[in-house]
Amino acid sequence: TKSLKETLQEVIPGKQEQLRKLKTEHAQAVIGDVKVENIIGGMRGLKAMLWEASVLDPNEGIRFHGLSIPDCRKVLPSAPGGKEIIAESMLWLLMTGKVPSEAQTRQLSRELAEKGELPPFVEKLVDSLPATLHPMTQLGIGVAALNHDSVFQAAYEKGIKKSEYWTYMLDDCLNLIARLPALAARIYLNVYQPGTPLPAINKDLDLIGNYSTLLGFGDNHNLTEYLRLYIALHGDHEGGNASAHTAHLVGSTLSDPYLSYSAALFALAGPLHGLANQEVLRWQFAMQEEIGSDVSHEKIKEYLWKTLKSGQVVPGYGHGVLRNPDPRFIALQEFCDARPELHESSIIQLVKKTSEVAPAVLKEHGKTKNPYPNVDATSGCVLYHYGLKEFKYYTVIFGVSRALGALTQLVWARALGLPLERPKSLSIDALEKLIT
């Protein structure tokens, strides 16, 4: 059975050659214009980044190396006794472009479990943080501190060839992914169940099986399966989203993966990005409190208008690229539809009913280019139903997941020798001069 590193070693030369050809034969090819609206509009739509693992089509949604979410759910190995995609099989696909065998998936699970313990000084550091500090801030601090053991940084200091960068990057990336469950679970217990000891990592479990166990939900098979799916689906969403882009930008300075991903987490912690899943639950519960138990489409509509008229965004709706319902939203809805116990959940039903009403209201409101739900509209309510009720923690789970894609790209960026990212900025005066 070939390991992830061995498989990458085989795949990388072909990609390097593909890129070399592109550079030598087509470096001057024009693939788009830069408009003033791109510069003042958050670079929306500007094709300006290389990102290998996934491409987002505005209408169809995400594809990971060409595979749609339904394709992935069919072909990617799950955990023993489970049905959903797991982080390891998604990571393997993102990294190599290939579907791993069952044996390769298990081997990667074991490798990650063996690397999963936190250094004692990071445990102490995280334990010293106040429980009132937002869990995302705690996660970013913990991830940054893990750079103490960066093999890339140590090797760079000794002096290594550019062609070797990616191997050290890969070691760091796998170490970081392996340690995220223990770090994220420690934060959860410190904040919500102080004094509860963290169980040891089980070497026979997959990464998210362990995460669920460390959180205290090891016996909750439904939640564990949901976490597996959630984390696999949130793994990558091409390169331009704020968290992935941040990791890429910081990594382009040859900052190690810990520092790069820590920065990415602080981008994910914004309410227009990853924090939206926390916001959705807060907002849906406020809606439930206001409209009471008699939940009708009409009452939801009134509440939506109230939110919009007060100048706030409707969390969980709209997207920078997507122009249709998010296939990740659809996959999580399908997860709910397939489980009768979830049909009884008032919060899951409220989220579903809201998704039936909100697109028409947002269309009438007329501002957003995409009136449909994104993944954050539904990701939290299932966690809530299955007992993980602390919604300030939800973005941490997103943070455990997004490492899969953002760190994959760091490995590839170094394997492909991508340079320091440094776009040109202009002042308003300079922009005006260019126009006239």
Q: Which residues are catalytic?
A: 273, 319, 376
End-to-end CA distance of the chain: 62
Residue 127, classed as helix, strand or coil, is helix
Exposed / middle / buried, residue 312 (Cβ in 10 Å: 0-12, 13-18, 19+): exposed
Q: In terms of Cα–Cα distance, which of 117, 123, 89, 127 is closest to 4?
A: 89
- CA gap 105, 240 in Å, rounded: 28
Residue number closest to ligand CMX, CB atom: 318
What track of x and - describes contact with ligand CMX for positions 361 through 390 (by CB under 6 A)? ------xxxx---x-x--------------
Work out how close the CB of 274 gets to ligand CMX at its nearest, in angstroms, rounded to a whole number: 5
Q: Which is nearer to ligand CMX, 126 or 265 (CB)?
A: 265
- Residue 314: phi and psi, rounded to 5, are -85, 110
Q: Which is nearer to ligand CMX, 7 or 243 (CB)?
A: 243
**CB neighbours of residue 359 within 10 Å:** 16
Work out how close the CB of 321 gets to ligand CMX at its nearest, in angstroms, rounded to a whole number: 8
Among 36, 103, 131, 272, binds ligand CMX (CB under 6 A): 272
Return the sign of the alpha-carbon dihedral for residues 236, 327, 319, 35: positive
- CA gap 224, 219 in Å, rounded: 8
Q: In terms of Cα–Cα distance, which of 138, 149, 141, 231 is closest to 189?
A: 138
> Which range of residues in 22-30, 68-76, 312-320, 330-338 is near ligand CMX by CB under 6 A?
312-320
Among 316, 325, 380, 405, binds ligand CMX (CB under 6 A): 316
Q: Does 319 bind ligand CMX (CB under 6 A)?
A: yes
Among 135, 209, 318, 325, binds ligand CMX (CB under 6 A): 318
What track of x and - describes contact with ligand CMX for positions 204 through 243 (by CB under 6 A)? -------------------------------------x--
Work out how close the CB of 39 gets to ligand CMX at its nearest, in angstroms, rounded to a whole number: 15
Q: Does 265 bind ligand CMX (CB under 6 A)?
A: no
Tokens 């445990």: give the residue. Answer: 123
Q: In terms of Cα–Cα distance, which of 170, 188, 237 is closest to 3?
A: 170
Among 116, 216, 257, 320, binds ligand CMX (CB under 6 A): 320
Q: Does 44 bind ligand CMX (CB under 6 A)?
A: yes
Q: Does 274 bind ligand CMX (CB under 6 A)?
A: yes
Residue 59, classed as helix, strand or coil, is coil
338 HSE (CA, 13 A, CB side)? 11
Q: How many residues bind ligand CMX (CB under 6 A)?
A: 21
Among 276, 400, 406, 415, binds ligand CMX (CB under 6 A): 276
Q: Does 262 bind ligand CMX (CB under 6 A)?
A: no
Q: Which is nearer to ligand CMX, 166 or 372 (CB)?
A: 372
- CA gap 334, 402 in Å, rounded: 22
Structure tokens at 87: 């982080």
Kindly list the residues in this chain that would bind ligand CMX in the complex (CB under 6 A).
44, 241, 272-274, 276, 308, 313-320, 367-370, 374, 376
